[in-house]
Amino acid sequence: MTEYTPHQKSLIDTYRDINTQHTEWWDCTYDDFKSDMSLTGIDVDKMMFSGFWSQGDGASFTGRITDVKLFMEHHKIADFQPTVMRLLSYGGNIDLTVEQTGSYSHYCHEYTVRVFNPHSDGFWYVLPTGDPLRTAVAEQWDKELNTELSALEEAATEIIRDDCRSLYRRLEEEYEYLTSDDAVWEAIQNNDLETEEDA
């Protein structure tokens, strides 16, 4: 750990926010997070956070789960929704969106978002019906599908909220690094803010 003179420490305290006050310091963290989420089938749209010392601080994001099969397999929940997986295997489409809820308009934490299923294909759409047996099968599977989609919304919401917590931790770590003594002192030197006394 670097030892600083009293004058250097005073300068560091004066310029503590030099790396965070005039720049969107979170951009790299956002980019990395968005890239990581895409590997699990999530397309992140908007990210927001507040931090890092108050109750209610946190981070969240909105977007879509664009690859539901990948998302479910990655998070090991596919076995709990076999009818959902059956629909996907038949080429059916399931929309899952990550949206802000209206009850937390002044906050950014993970409980301000949840996963919704605004639309999904039914088996009547992906199965060629025309005879009574196929129609009966499609109707039965659609009943099971509706139950599983509700469970999928809940499971996906918990997963997304964990991802929001991960985003917040990443942002907090980046902020702590950028405001650390070493990072601040490096910025002071790079911006020629030293005096002769500091040399």
pLDDT digits (tens, 9 = 90+) for 30-49: 999 999 999 999 999 999 99
pLDDT of residue 104: 58
pLDDT of residue 143: 96
- Segment 63-76 shows an average pLDDT of 98
Write out the two tokens for 39.
């590997």
What band does 12 get if pLDDT is binned at 50, 70 and 90?
A: very high
What is the amino acid identity at position 176?
A: E
pLDDT of residue 56: 80
Min mean pLDDT across 2-6, 12-16, 155-159 is at 2-6
pLDDT of residue 52: 84
Q: 37-46: long-range contacts at Cβ-Cβ below 8 A with a sequence spacing of 24 or more?
A: 37/61, 37/63, 37/163, 39/74, 40/70, 40/71, 40/74, 40/75, 41/65, 41/66, 41/67, 41/68, 41/69, 41/70, 41/71, 41/74, 42/66, 42/71, 42/98, 42/160, 42/163, 45/98
| C-beta of residue 101 within 8 angstroms of C-beta of residue 112 | yes
Query: Is the model more confident about 131 or about 105?
Result: 131
pLDDT of residue 127: 84
Note the pTM of the prediction, 2 decimals: 0.89
Residue 159, pLDDT above cutoff 50: yes
